[in-house]
Structure 1
Amino acid sequence: MSVATLHYIHDPLCGWCYAAQPLVSAMQAQLGDRLALRLHGGGLFGEPRRVDAALAQHIVHSDERIAQLSGQPFGEAYKQGLLADEGTVLYSLPPIAAVLAAESLDAAKAYPMLAAIQNAHYQRGLRVVEPQVLTELAEEIGLDGTHFAQALARADGHTLFEHVQASRRLLDEAGGHGFPTLLLEVDGRRTLLPHHHYYGRPDAFVQMLAGQLPAVH
């Protein structure tokens, strides 16, 4: 049974959150029985933003650094397809709504949905702002497509807005510096984690977390 919580303030379209994916995945695999994971989508692209040449160049430079530090792969369909197409739109709210929809159907599917969205975007070059793509990803992680599409429609609007606003308040309260921000909560006390020291070193990240958890009796 979980005795502590890892709060993950993220955005599905944030490259540095993709860099942190191996850290969070390793935590879930090795400490999931002792450490609950709560996802807080912050809305990096709160309004639709078309990828122009300047934005694409900025993203490419950032991705190169991310790949170097984290070892995370960036697919050709993403680099030569999605980023090279000036028709591509970056918009965080649909994928955040998809994570909320997955969570509403099965709490254990929230993080797999986030990881599936990240991988679809950065490796497969899929347009994860589109409901049909998000529904297909939900099916890939084992959710019923019809039920997911209905949950996605419910998650949009006021519920989504409230979630993003709450995530941003938590980020401000924690003194975080954007996405990702990771907070460890034990006995009601929250500690800001220096996750950036652990990019590319998921096992060391897990060891650091384990050292801060209450002893198992």
Structure 2
Amino acid sequence: MPIDKLEYIFDPLCGWCYASAPALDWLAATFSHQLYLLPSGLFAGEGARPITPEWAAHAWKNDQRIAQLTGQPFSGQYHHLLLSGARFDSGALNLALTAFRQISSAAEAGLLHELQAARYVRGEDTARGDVVLKISQAYAAVHHPHLSPSLTADIFAPGSELADLTQQRISGVQRLMRSNGISGVPLLLVTVAGKTHAISGSDLYGGAESINNALDKLGCISH
């Protein structure tokens, strides 16, 4: 059966969402018209926090588990620079992703992948708005040059049209999560023939083959 809709619920600073990046890349390439990225705001606003030594130890332990389970890289530079007192806040990331959403879900997924690599591999502080803006501008210049002129510091400012749109988007995702009893991310909601199924855990962390198999079990057409 054809897929009606794929809704990927995530937070761009969630390590387990980074674990599911290969699966998301495949979904974006295979179901570009059915895929919707839904940022939950888990680590934005009231969910943002300073990185304390305790939080850093907890995060690094999870990171090592993710690396062993999925092969996703976490560099020493990331460990030393971003788990030693920086802030944990996905607000700027959500703004940038919403800007790219205007192009397509595939464009948004591509930027998400670039931002995750910037953080976990290159050790860039993607909790900072200026860093996120610079990465987004560079990515747009290569992949979506028509968007580049509109990516300025002004659109990231509180009260901007993009900020309002991002908050509306997150609020809608949070309502969806509450109505479906969803608390954790990442999660993929698959709607087939009007019925919605939830996919999480190893099906998302196992990459393209794993998520393809999970969709096959639902009787979905992947071509």
Pairwise same-fold verdict (TM > 0.5):
yes
Paired AA for residue 140 in structure 1: Y
Q: Distance in 2 between matches of 1:198 and 1:115?
A: 15
Note if 1:80 corresponds to 2:83: no
- CA shift, 1:54, in A, is 0.9
- Aligned equivalent of 1:203: 209
Q: How many residues align?
A: 212
Q: Distance in 2 between matches of 1:204 and 1:181?
A: 14
More displaced stretch, 99-108 vs 68-77: 99-108
- Aligned equivalent of 1:110: 108
Query: Relative to 1, partners in 2 of residues 1:92 and 1:7: Cα closer, same or farther, differing over 3 Å?
Result: same
Q: Distance in 2 between matches of 1:119 and 1:135?
A: 15
- CA shift, 1:214, in A, is 5.0
Superposed CA deviations along residues 140-194 of structure 1, whole A, max 9, x for unmatched, are: 2423433122654545433222211111121222333411111001233211114
Which runs of 5 or more residues in structure 1 are unaligned? none
- CA shift, 1:70, in A, is 1.4
Native 8 Å contact 2:3 2:221 kept in 1: no
Q: Distance in 2 between matches of 1:97 and 1:187?
A: 33
More displaced stretch, 109-118 vs 8-17: 109-118
- Aligned equivalent of 1:54: 54
- Aligned equivalent of 2:121: 123
Native 8 Å contact 2:186 2:200 kept in 1: no
Q: Distance in 2 between matches of 1:124 and 1:15?
A: 15
Say what the alpha-carbon RMSD is for the aligned residues: 2.5
Paired AA for residue 79 in structure 1: H
Native 8 Å contact 2:41 2:90 kept in 1: yes
Note if 1:187 corresponds to 2:193: yes
- Aligned equivalent of 1:71: 71
Note if 1:140 corresponds to 2:144: no
- Aligned equivalent of 1:173: 179
Superposed CA deviations along residues 105-145 of structure 1, whole A, max 9, x for unmatched, are: 45541111111111111111112133332233222242343
Native 8 Å contact 1:4 1:185 kept in 2: yes
Note if 1:18 corresponds to 2:21: no
Report the identity percentage.
28
Query: Relative to 1, partners in 2 of residues 1:28 and 1:46: Cα closer, same or farther, differing over 3 Å?
Result: closer
Native 8 Å contact 1:16 1:180 kept in 2: yes
Native 8 Å contact 2:37 2:109 kept in 1: yes
Paired AA for residue 78 in structure 1: Y
Paired AA for residue 173 in structure 2: S
Q: TM-score if structure 1 supplies the norm length?
A: 0.85
More displaced stretch, 185-194 vs 5-14: 185-194
Q: Distance in 2 between matches of 1:32 and 1:196?
A: 20
More displaced stretch, 93-102 vs 165-174: 165-174
Native 8 Å contact 1:8 1:40 kept in 2: yes
Superposed CA deviations along residues 12-67 of structure 1, whole A, max 9, x for unmatched, are: 000010011111112233x226x621011111222342211111011011111111
Q: TM-score if structure 2 supplies the norm length?
A: 0.83
Q: Distance in 1 between matches of 2:81 and 2:194?
A: 45
Native 8 Å contact 2:81 2:123 kept in 1: yes
Q: Distance in 1 between matches of 2:222 and 2:14?
A: 35
- CA shift, 1:213, in A, is 5.0
More displaced stretch, 138-147 vs 54-63: 138-147
Secondary structure at 1:157's aligned position in 2?
Answer: helix
Paired AA for residue 26 in structure 2: A
